[in-house]
Structure 1
């Protein structure tokens, strides 16, 4: 988990993997993100017939954001990023200029989220999401700030007592985030979705506040709620094939939550308690593709 500079790209469907050349810098902790173009594109013609086009020149990129060397939270308008792209075939280093002060140490450790050709991280300390275009920074020698290549997204106001839990992309291609409240006597979770309509960005609340009272009653007596819930309830992922479903780690069990029905259902899956809190995201959405995506040979 620490001082890591070796990375592998894996295709779980084909069970193939490729070893990425190690980064030249071995740092205690970095924030990592991965983005990959789709191997095939589905186009619909005027007759409403589907046409599948294979993109043999698809590309991928890995980003390492380097936190400031400090034992305390500190902010900066510039930060270092190491980027490996399939187009370059090697690690490149860039200085990213930000229009806003960012506390890099508070960026989500679970990994960057790929959305609309960019990688996004949530900053819990700053209260907004940052987005970076890895392909631009891996191939451009200039480090000037351009809004199209790096920008931030403000999130809706989160009431006191709620903490951010998860940033993800839905099956329909919308950016979503959840926040969780360890409230007594009613702990709850809320889901938001970003609407990119008519050139503007607006957050829409999908759920209101979903009470976790039914699940708590089945798991803990009343007097133990506050002591155990903080590190034992984590939003894991949204269902990759059903936008209405997201998954929670509820102590050592995985629970499916239906957004519209606001109902919970236990699954057969289990995760060791606190594993997500300690080590970041323990699961990720995965959909079996129509065609397998081959791992490209590196130059």
Structure 2
């Protein structure tokens, strides 16, 4: 039996190249079930700690991406070589990136409200996208300018400053958000410890939230000798707590290794501005790109 703490320590980097499947979540668990099994009891503890807390208030005032912070040019990619280059983050810069005297940028939410944050320079934004310059297929950046892009966030759709990178061979730019996420609040509850993964395991990352907010897709880790992950959900007025576990664990010799599987979890009502939480960590579930280096915030 793998232990949840071991899965948590290995982290997203160890599983980024594994399988990528989709499955249905188990659905909402009733809050008044009695007696409550241990995983649900933990989810209730996390929800109770966050609902109405100072941390939740900080969360609702901040900017946290819930979608891809880099957006591809229209009709990308031209060919398989370009697609492989982007997956490997293999870029070549053949042009000058602009400097800007502008110090701040503004997030503007579709529902109203805004937030001013420090603006990320073109060079820094480029380096978050172009992480390699190895031999082989690559994408060529010839310039950049400051613009805007739309992005899903924890407070709903928003328009955000972005660097628009000109790619050789493409008519439209590669966009990269020019703001870093807000600092996460201190969680009001600590992580679960030494829990078998068939009871509770940490989630890897948020893959996407549906446009209507009625479901979320998360990446959950599991081992080589089981039937994969499952994700339960506990909904309250202020939070949505996801409890991942591994099902169908088998005894006996087993090849070591972790895998990742995408699990879609349907909600009773749109997520709105409720905090999406991991029952194991007691923290918000970070959004992350499977092919990228790390979640966009953690």
TM normalised by structure 2 equals 0.26
The structure with higher relative contact order (CA 8 Å, sep 6+) is 2
Give the number of the structure whose residues are more often helix, by fraction. Answer: 2
Give the number of the structure whose residues are more often strand, by fraction. Answer: 1
TM normalised by structure 1 equals 0.26
